[in-house]
Amino acid sequence: MQITWDSIWYNANVATMVPDTHAYGMVENGAVCVQQGIVDRVGPTHSLPEGSLARAKEIKDCSGRLVTPGLVDCHTHLIYAGNRAGEFEMRLKGASYQDIARAGGGVMSTVRATRSASEDQLFEQTLLRMNGLLDNGVTTVEIKSGYGLDTASEIKMLRVAKRLAHSTPANITVTFLGAHAVPTEYNGRADAYIDLVCEEMLPRVVEEGLADAVDAFCEGIAFSPQQVERVFVAAAEHGLETKCHAEQLSHLGGAVLAARHGAISVDHLEYLHERDVAVLADAGTVAVLLPGAFYVLRETRLPPIEAMRRHGVPMAIATDSNPGSSPVLSLTLMLNMACTLFGLTPEEALAGATREGARALRMVDETGTIERGKWADLALWNVREPSELSYQVGGNPCQAVMHRGRLR
């Protein structure tokens, strides 16, 4: 019986990102054969069964260019209204991110704009940003709520996320981040706000099936470890995965707390202590590094990369796309910053935006590497070597994207 594939991308340098003896899991002059949205075969082009290309429904001669897994952006706050260019100017004149937040700006400024926007307006504005990400080779995106901070507005954001999931050619996962900041109306009553998150918002979110995971911001300008822990306990009662914004601006111990509660990922981590790293390693928690926020806030303290490497903590890279600390829509630019600012190797950076990003979303069995049986999520780039993706600063080398077998 002769096999007829739906599509074949051939003559490509295929960085499968499957961890093995070759750097980048590279198959030189390779071919990827796709059947019903799934990768069916990866191997050298010359070993394709005779006549495969002639019989395939769709073929692409990649002319020696690079093919990678579709990129995975595992941490975004893509849904919001307005922008914070004014705060950017204030920070350039010396105000700190925390000063601005304590004065009622920061997250709360975006909350006011997001509360006043209609669901349709939010959808339209977010779609433009989503397309920016996807143009840059992304096929999987995590989206958080967290700019509503009252039940109706959080639900509004999550519905926009679900609409995006249905109308975008990408795998979208949705995270409920009700515990992002204490809204003004709860000033001085953070515990009462956590009651609202756990007792009213979360049950509604679960009832409407609006989220895959729950996140919380553990920080001086947000919530204490005790408050975050209440959110994790409530999430577990509802059977939802957890994640945590931790050790971004100071060390409160959120990362270790989250890891002990079985969180899939802990994110930011500039202030993580070396002694915390072993706990993440034992728990199998992914460290999500966000060099865009580090850059925009002109942070100087580096996450303990070498210790994470030594302990084998999986490291993912994401945009943290948000209007305050990381107005970023290019994940390939984050590969560059992960190398130049955090000292990752180009291979670690690319793994961070593919395989390890997928791991941070518990999707690594479906996407994040090019392997038989996984979704055919692929990106074709106008470069030959995978290190060029980290090397280039700005611009967009992405030439074609396939999501679950369909060309975008």
Residues that bind Fe ion (CB under 5 A): 320
Q: How far apart are CA 39 and CA 41, in angstroms?
A: 6
Of 215 and 377, nearer to ligand DI6 (C-beta) is 215
What is the C-alpha separation between 19 and 397, in angstroms, rounded? 24
Look at the block and give the residue holding tokens 């369909």: 406
From the list 73, 150, 276, 320, which residue makes contact with ligand DI6 (rule: CB under 6 A)? Answer: 320
For the chain, helix (H) and strand (E) counts, in that order, are 17, 16
**Contact yes or no for 408/169 (Cβ under 8 A):** yes
Whole-number minimum distance, CB 194 to ligand DI6, in Å?
16
Binding residues among 257-296 for ligand DI6 as defined by CB under 6 A: 293
Residue nearest to Fe ion (CB): 320
Binding segment (CB under 6 A) for ligand DI6, from list 9-17, 250-258, 323-331, 370-378? 323-331
- Both tokens of 195, joined, read 């009651």
Per the listing, tokens 């930011």 go with: 268
CB closest to ligand DI6, residue no: 324
Where in 162-201 is the site for ligand DI6 (CB under 6 A)? 180
Number of residues forming the site for ligand DI6 (CB under 6 A)? 15
CB closer to ligand DI6 out of 68 and 114: 114
Min separation Cβ 269 and ligand DI6, Å: 12
Residues 302 and 270: beta-carbon distance below 8 Å: yes
**Residue 337 found at the interface with ligand DI6 (CB under 6 A):** no
* Binding segment toward ligand DI6, per CB under 6 A, in 10-18, 154-162, 185-193, 321-329: 321-329
- 334 makes contact with ligand DI6 (CB under 6 A): no
Contact 26, 15 (CB under 8 A): yes
Rounded distance between C-alpha atoms, residue 131 and residue 161, angstroms: 14
DSSP labels for 243-305? EEEESSSS--SHHHHHHHTT-SEEEE-TT--HHHHHHHHHHTPEEEE-HHHHHHTT--PPP-H
Residue (of 240, 292, 237) closest to 270 by Cα position: 292
Which one of the spans 112-120, 130-138, 319-327, 354-362 is the region binding ligand DI6 (CB under 6 A)? 319-327
Q: Is 166 exposed, middle or buried (0-12, 13-18, 19+ CB in 10 A)?
A: exposed
CA atoms within 13 A on the CB side of 325: 22
215 counts as binding ligand DI6 under rule CB under 6 A: no
**Identity of the residue, 31 or 228, whose beta carbon is nearer to ligand DI6 in the bound complex:** 228
According to CB under 6 A, which one of 70, 324, 352, 405 is a site residue for ligand DI6? 324
Minimum distance from residue 192 beta carbon to ligand DI6 (Å): 20
Please choose which of Fe ion, ligand DI6, none residue 324 contacts, taking the beta carbon within 5 to 8 angstroms, the exact cut-off set by kind. ligand DI6
- Residue 223 in contact with ligand DI6, rule: CB under 6 A: no
Residues 64-103 within binding reach of ligand DI6 (CB under 6 A): 77
- d(Cα 280, Cα 256) in Å, to the nearest integer? 7
Instruction: Decide which of Fe ion, ligand DI6, none touches 402; Cβ closer than 5 to 8 Å per partner kind.
Output: none
Query: Which of 16, 76, 125, 248 is in the footprint of ligand DI6 by CB under 6 A?
Result: 248
- Residues near ligand DI6 (CB under 6 A) are 77, 106-107, 110, 180, 217, 245, 248, 293, 320, 322-326
